[in-house]
Structure 1
Amino acid sequence: MTALAVEPTKVRRPRVSLQLLRITLVLHTTLVIAQPIAAGYFLAGNVDAMTNIHSPIGGSLWMVAFIQTIVAACYTFAGRGRIWPTVASALLIVAELTQIVYGYAQNFAVHIPLGTAIVTAVIWMTVWSFRSTARLSRREAKR
């Protein structure tokens, strides 16, 4: 009897694309955390915090989300990672553009809860990206 050696198929996992996604998410997290801090400085009486910190960062966050979406798409398609980070990143573009509109309109009933949701989502995605499950391919994640 001859035993046939069956080699397991090599599973392609996201590596470089995951590292790029992590870098982008850390940058995004840093910027979104700076937003409520800058708003707090404004509310504490530093009127320059709104024009010098909060507005410029808020106006550029959607661009970071756009870059994050491109990187997440590379993670999803080239790295064979999960699909949801790309979808969530695209939704963050919409949420952050909406946030700009309501911020300039001074509609704080929408601006503050939406900002809280954005901060929560970006932090959650960043934490997830450093977990071991982020390294799994789509095929492995389905098991």
Structure 2
Amino acid sequence: MTAIIEQPAKVRRPRASLQLLRITLVLHAVLVIAQPIAAGYFLAGNVDAMTEIHATIGGSVWMIAFLQTVVAACYTTAGRGRIWPTVASAVVLVAEFVQLIFGYAQNFAVHIPLGTAIVTAVVWMTVWSFRSTARTSRREAKR
């Protein structure tokens, strides 16, 4: 009598979509970390740092957040990755757009704490993307 050996079902894991998400997150993290540095240069007396560096990066960083949201959605759908990175990326996208508005309005009571929250969220997501849990599919995460 021969025993039938069942092969475990092959679980599809995010690979290419995770690599794209990592690249996008690293780029996003570099840009948002550069923002408080540029603001610091301005506060140290370099008046051109605000218009040449901080405003330039601020005007484009939300576009990277949009790209990150699209890539995170691909990670979630095509790569069968977790859902929360897409939701978190969309929240960061909205936060960065609001950040841009309050920055140009010079409402620093909102701009500075919101910027701190954005930097924290993006860096945290970037670190998470390189952990082994980012490679697990939604199906594996539920087990």
TM bracket, shorter-chain basis: over 0.9
State the match for 1:127 in structure 2: 127
1:118 aligns with 2:85: no
SS at match of 2:33: helix
Which residue of structure 1 lines up, in the alignment, with residue 102 of structure 2? 102
Q: Which SS does the other structure have where 1:5 is aligned?
A: coil
Q: For residue 39 of structure 2, what is the aligned residue in structure 1?
A: 39
Q: Which residue of 1 aligns with 2:84?
A: 84
Identity %: 82
| Displacement after TM superposition at 1:3 (Å) | 1.1
Please give the TM-score of this superposition, normalised by the length of structure 1: 0.98
Aligned CA RMSD, in angstroms, stands at 0.6
Q: Give the Cα separation in 1 of the matches to 2:16 and 2:72.
A: 11
Gaps of 5+ in 2: none
Q: How many residues align?
A: 143
State the partner residue of 2:26.
26
Q: Tell me which residue corresponds to 1:66.
A: 66
Structure 1: 4+ residue segments shifted above 2 A = none
Displacement after TM superposition at 1:2 (Å): 2.9
Please give the per-residue CA displacement for 1:26-82, whole angstroms capped at 9, x wherever unaligned.
000000000000000000000000000000100111100000011001100000000
List gaps (5 residues or longer) in structure 1: none
Q: Normalized against structure 2, the TM-score is what? A: 0.98
